[in-house]
Amino acid sequence: MAATTAPAARPCSTARRTSPLSRRSRRPLRSPLTCRAETDNPAALPPEELEAKMKEAMDANPELKQQMEAMEEAMEQNPALRQQMAQMAELMKRDPAKFQQVVMAQQQQQKEMQEILASDEFKQKVEELKGDADLVPLFKAVEEQGQAGLQQFWDDEAVLRKFGRMMIEVREMRAANGAASAAGAAPAGPAEVNNLFDAAKEGDVEALEDFVAIGKDLNEQDSEGRTPLHYAVAYDKAISVDALIEAGATIDSRDNKQNTPLHYACGYGRVDIAEALLDAGADPAAVQEEFQTPKMLAEKDERNPIAKNSKLIERLAG
């Protein structure tokens, strides 16, 4: 998960407050994808038929077939990847609807990756790193095969670590360029707070209290399944996290990719917020769609502040 540039995290307050928020009871969270899975017919296909459909799709799509062949080759050399694929196969047999959700999410991730690989920012970074002997073969594979070229490096931890750092920088460059374009289009004005998501990301506790006092749902989800608590963590607003926790927001709510707020905190390196979530009962063993725990996300990048915090890593290990 790539972190966007944001202000430094502030320590979370542990003091209890009396506010309209505290009277809000917890409400069960239901992912939009779950609803879709219950009604979308392909998700309900028997495993054998679903497997046949996938084979048919691969036969009709040479690029997809190439990716799958590259994946099979990588699996032969990478036990961890082989285990992950076995888990996917088991999921397809046990819960076709859930499997369909994961496949759809992975397709979206592939689309996003294709956009990044075709971006000017990625090309700029390749130019800067063309002297790196470890990355040159990867750059060549991507140039010749596109996204499928990445799969042959899945068993090379050193290359993946370097490429992961590069992708974080590329995403930050893209975010900065997008922000610069928006800034050039119109002068910046005061942030508008129109809903719980806005209040959470702006750290506007009074607005949070007002919205909930008039009956707004603390666990409302946006189109990607993110709740106000996800927003508060992503935008590094410890004060919003504290207020939402006190109000009874669902601590382990899931976005469409099955990430909890603790996944966000660990992916973004929010030490104080991760500790506050754990103190509030967040599940450190929660697994998202790629079978990653919050701890695993934190340890993906050695620069992540959480990866350097041995006490917090120990807590995340359960």
201-228 pLDDT, tens per residue?
Answer: 999 999 998 888 888 899 999 988 999 9
CA distances from 312 to 14, 15, 284 (A): 17, 21, 11
Instruction: State mean pLDDT over 109-136.
Output: 85
- Res. 117: pLDDT tops 80: yes
Q: What is the pLDDT of residues 5-15, one digit of tens each?
A: 343 333 333 33
Q: For position 80, what pLDDT does the model report?
A: 58
Q: For position 237, what pLDDT does the model report?
A: 93
Token representation of residue 159: 């290359």
**Mean pLDDT across the chain, nearest whole number?**
75
Question: Would you place residue 95 in the very low, low, confident or very high pLDDT band (cuts 50, 70, 90)?
Answer: confident
Residue 206 neighbours by CB under 8 Å, 6+ apart: none
Cut 0.85: pTM above it: no
Question: Would you place residue 18 in the very low, low, confident or very high pLDDT band (cuts 50, 70, 90)?
Answer: very low
Domain with CATH 1.25.40.20 in the chain: 195-316
Q: At what angle do helices 205-213 and 238-247 cross, to 10 degrees?
A: 30
Please provide the CATH number assigned to the domain covering 195-316: 1.25.40.20
Q: At what angle do helices 79-94 and 62-77 cross, to 10 degrees?
A: 120
Token representation of residue 67: 């990716």
